[in-house]
Amino acid sequence: MSVNIEVNNKTIQAKKGETILEALNRNGIKVPTLCRMEGLSPTGACRLCVVEVEGKSGLTPSCSYPIEHPMKIWTHSPRVISARKMLVELLLSNHPDDCLYCIRNGDCELQNLAVELNVRERRISGEKTKINLDQSSPGMVRDPSKCILCGRCVRVCDEVQDVSTFDFINRGNSTLIATSMSKDLNFSNCINCGQCIMVCPTGALHEKTSFDIIQEMLNNKDIKVIAHYSSSVPVSLAKALGLKPGKDVNGLLNAALKGIGFDKVFDSAFGADIAIYEQAAELADRIKNEENLPVLSSCCPGWIKYMEQLHPDMIDLVSTTKSPQQILGTLIKGYYAEKEQISPEKIFTISITPCTAKKFEAQREEMTHKGVSDIDQVITTRELIKLIHLYGIDIHSLNDEFSDEPFNTRSSASKLVSVSGGMTEAVARTLNYFFTGKELSPIQVPKLRGIKNIKEIVLKMDKKNINFVVVSGLKNANKILAEIREGKIKADFVEIMACPGGCINGGGQPFCNDEKVQKTMIKAIYSTDDKEAIKVAHKNPGVLKLYNDFLKEPLSRVSNKNLHTGYKEREVLL
């Protein structure tokens, strides 16, 4: 029901039941908040969204107070502004003064607010809470001294991911956000998905960077430095590099990476095609033998760690295929090194991904070969942008270049993998080919696309009904897995991505609150699938050649040795 309320002496329309903030935002009135997250429970902790409501003695938090009728509101009265300013100053009084050294410098919500509210003087000072930096995790760094205790990470970890690594401990001025038993992150049940980084308003949570070693390797003439990038990276760069948002900058990225000084630049999409091919073969095999169903996808390292911690009973169901990043890593340090006659120790592989959990995956013991990691370093899209700036690359003056052979070809199916539902679509295409010898018709499955976090679909292949389930966000995954355990839903293939929406919303992506930009990125991926001729993994010429020369066929002895792995139960503090 629509009602009229008076805001800043003007009448605006509001809906009964919604919060004041929702009504204000819809009407183009901006009110700052530091703790609110759309879709998650409001905590009303930051108090920055306070407004003056006639008849109320104190100021009212607009993020949680429902619309009443009649209502008279002032959103920027002197009283409100001075209260907001004082709140920000209070936060700053307990914040390390190191903006210039901070990873979020220029991209920090607290900093922006201080600018907006014109904080120009230190009116309040006092003792600051000193807590140690936690660098223990392979994927993330936590700097609690920069934490403003907004609780966004707590809520996203609990309400979206169901991991609940963080919670508030202590009370009063010693309140902190900590992991279970205040242990370091590497002892905790953190899956390194990085969703907390994406919501953190300050630099309290960020990815672990390793620029020093990358620069050192780039300078070392004895080492061959090879970069390869995930399929979602080229579509995520445009806005940050000053190009039209959502533009696929594949060719420019190749040129930029070569400009930085990488000896070879490969496309991880090649690995994705192999992963699709192998996973489809595995699925076909298990369906034929009617054993170990459903197959749970294995390309998301966050989900894999979560499964090892919480669902060890499902280890047998998880596909043994490595993730695209690791497949390419093994191929580079195995097949490619032998072909080029370089010792694997002399190769330094850098994987560029939208993901912080990949940093964890790269250092897993299963992902090494005779003590040499298949992937030496993983950097996120955000770090890549910094690297491009660091090496003074002007993206506007570059011309498109191709990635290097032999891992340069890809199908458009491999591109889909970066969006939730894409892996399933790609696997379905290849699976249909395995069953029928023909291509899926129509080849695109629109039901697997879109923003829903749980999608279920049945496809008929060779008179068999194959059930596909797609989930993203681990809370949803838990729900589906519980239903599978209870036998409530029948599934043959379950695609699980830890980040809601898939890799495109990964924890290593550029910070972006603009939904439109997100949409253009997804659109770019689907339009690639519309435009390109090779739409299936099993038709990728490079992949076919590789199978011909080296791997023989999916699930062959060679591919089993190189491209497949196993997992075991992991004990962590829950």
Q: Which residues bind other proteins (CB under 8 A)?
A: 42-48, 50, 58-59, 61, 64-66, 79, 82-83, 86-87, 90-91, 93-94, 122-127, 148-149, 151, 167-168, 170-175
CB 196 within 8 A of CB 474: no
Q: Measured from the CB atom, is 4 or 170 closer to other proteins?
A: 170
Distance CA 511, CA 529 (A): 26
Q: DSSP string covering 41-98, please?
A: -----S-TTEEEETT-SS-EETTTPBP-SS-EEESS-HHHHHHHHHHHHHHHHTS-S-
Q: Cβ 6 to other proteins, closest distance in Å?
A: 20
Q: Cβ 155 to other proteins, closest distance in Å?
A: 12
Quote the tokens at residue 444.
């695109």
Distance CA 492, CA 319 (A): 12
Q: Measured from the CB atom, is 173 or 513 closer to other proteins?
A: 173
Quote the tokens at residue 532.
């390109």
Quote the tokens at residue 128.
């600051």
> What length does the chain have?
574
Amino acid residing at 466: I
Chain centroid to Cα 275, Å, comes to 19
What are the residues whose beta carbons fall under 8 Å from the beta carbon of 464, sequence distance 6 or more? 287, 435
Q: Cβ 2 to other proteins, closest distance in Å?
A: 20
CB 20 within 8 A of CB 60: yes
Distance CA 104, CA 93 (A): 18
Q: Measured from the CB atom, is 75 or 232 closer to other proteins?
A: 75
Q: Which of 430, 425, 394 is nearest to 547 (CA)?
A: 430
CA angle 390, 395, 399 (to 5 degrees): 135
Phi, psi torsion values for 4, nearest 5 degrees: -100, 130
For the packed helices 381-390 and 211-219, what is the interaxial angle rounded to 10 degrees? 50
Q: Cβ 286 to other proteins, closest distance in Å?
A: 42
Q: Cβ 180 to other proteins, closest distance in Å?
A: 14
Q: Measured from the CB atom, is 88 or 283 closer to other proteins?
A: 88
Q: Which position has the token pair 């395995």?
A: 434
CA distances from 427 to 167, 320, 525 (A): 38, 15, 17
Element (H, E) at 351: strand 347-353
Distance CA 424, CA 426 (A): 5
CB 529 within 8 A of CB 416: yes
Q: Measured from the CB atom, is 64 or 556 closer to other proteins?
A: 64
Q: Measured from the CB atom, is 122 or 339 closer to other proteins?
A: 122
Distance CA 427, CA 413 (A): 9
Q: Cβ 216 to other proteins, closest distance in Å?
A: 42
Q: Measured from the CB atom, is 158 or 267 closer to other proteins?
A: 158
Q: Which of 35, 379, 76 is nearest to 237 (CA)?
A: 379
Q: Measured from the CB atom, is 74 or 526 closer to other proteins?
A: 74
Q: DSSP string covering 160-217, please?
A: ITS----EEES-GGG-EEE-GGG--GGGS------HHHHH-SSTTEEEPP-HHHHHHH
Q: Cβ 569 to other proteins, closest distance in Å?
A: 28
Q: Which of 389, 383, 397 is nearest to 229 (CA)?
A: 383
Q: Cβ 67 to other proteins, closest distance in Å?
A: 11
Q: Measured from the CB atom, is 94 or 254 closer to other proteins?
A: 94
Q: Measured from the CB atom, is 49 or 317 closer to other proteins?
A: 49
Q: Measured from the CB atom, is 84 or 264 closer to other proteins?
A: 84
Q: Measured from the CB atom, is 22 or 456 closer to other proteins?
A: 22
Distance CA 275, CA 321 (A): 6
Q: Cβ 86 to other proteins, closest distance in Å?
A: 4
On the CB side of 264, how many CA atoms lie within 13 Å of its CA?
A: 22
Q: Measured from the CB atom, is 174 or 397 closer to other proteins?
A: 174
